[in-house]
Amino acid sequence: MAPRSNTSDPGGSPFRYPAFPEQVVLTASVSAAAAIQAAVDRFGRIDVLVNNAGNFYAGFFEEITPADFRAQIETTMFGPMNVTRAALPVLRAHRSGLVVTISSTAGLAGGEFLSAYAASKFGVEGWAESLAPEVAPFGIRSMIVEPGFFRTELLTPESTSYAEATIGDYAERTAQTVAGWKGMNGLQGGDPAKLADALIQLAELDEPPPRFAVGADAVGAFEARGKALQVQADAHRELSSNVAHTDA
């Protein structure tokens, strides 16, 4: 959450907001709880929580250090969990609210150079999907958002760390892949402002979708994943189905 220095509302009348923490350490539950409390102090309640923190540890699995792999999981999986855990008591007290978790098409299908990032996104999707029925009885809704490529800061040097190339077998593909990712930075097709507008529209619905593909590339990824799973289910259907005890 960014700090606010405003001391007046848009109409110009004097009104001092309680200050948000200048920096929220999402991997620390104490920091997440402080940020939630600051939001409640300012607004009195929370209606929509958006889990949108992101970074990218990219590289082939053998070359990503265990520390960097863990750091990816800490930010993009445990970060949303920490913030949501802090927010749920507030949402339950009001018996309403919406938890929006920004995932990725990498949470639907993995790919080379994405092992750490996809692992975190697959994990966050499983968590968010399981959380939804747990909190639904309290009037709390949940929505997983899977964007395609959007022109955000995710591919900037500040947000992306590339694993050091240490294994000759991967060297050529590493060079090609890093060049491709860097060349894409700033040229992604998705407009973050339009994504935000779409989320506002969905948040105002009585029943937001449990999953939302955003971007034509994301819709394509949804369709491809659905078809691939159906093909895999059909490929060995008889063998898959004949594994029960004979007395069952």
For residue 32, is it within any domain? no
Q: How many alpha carbons fall within 13 Å on the CB side of residue 204?
A: 6
For residue 24, is it within any domain? no
Structural domain harbouring 186:
47-226
Enumerate the active-site residues: 103, 117, 121
For residue 149, is it within any domain? yes
DSSP string over the chain = -------B-TT--B-PPPPPPS---TT-HHHHHHHHHHHHHHHSS-SEEEE----EEEB-GGGS-HHHHHHHHIIIIIHHHHHHHHHHHHHHHHT-EEEEEE--GGGT---TTBHHHHHHHHHHHHHHHHHHHHHGGGTEEEEEEEE--BSSSTTSTTTEEEPP---HHHHHHHHHHHHHHHHHTT--SB-HHHHHHHHHHHHTSSS--SEEEESHHHHHHHHHHHHHHHHHHHHTHHHHH--S-TT-
For residue 35, is it within any domain? no
For residue 74, is it within any domain? yes
pLDDT (0 to 100) of residue 145 = 96
Query: Tens digit of pLDDT for each residue in 8-26?
Result: 233 333 333 344 454 556 6
For residue 109, is it within any domain? yes
Q: How many domains does the chain have?
A: 1
Q: What CATH number does residue 153 fall under?
A: 3.40.50.720
Tell me which residues of the chain have a pLDDT lower than 50.
1-20, 22
For residue 36, is it within any domain? no
pLDDT (0 to 100) of residue 24 = 59
Q: Which two tokens stand for residue 233?
A: 């289910």
pLDDT (0 to 100) of residue 247 = 81
For residue 17, is it within any domain? no
pLDDT (0 to 100) of residue 25 = 64
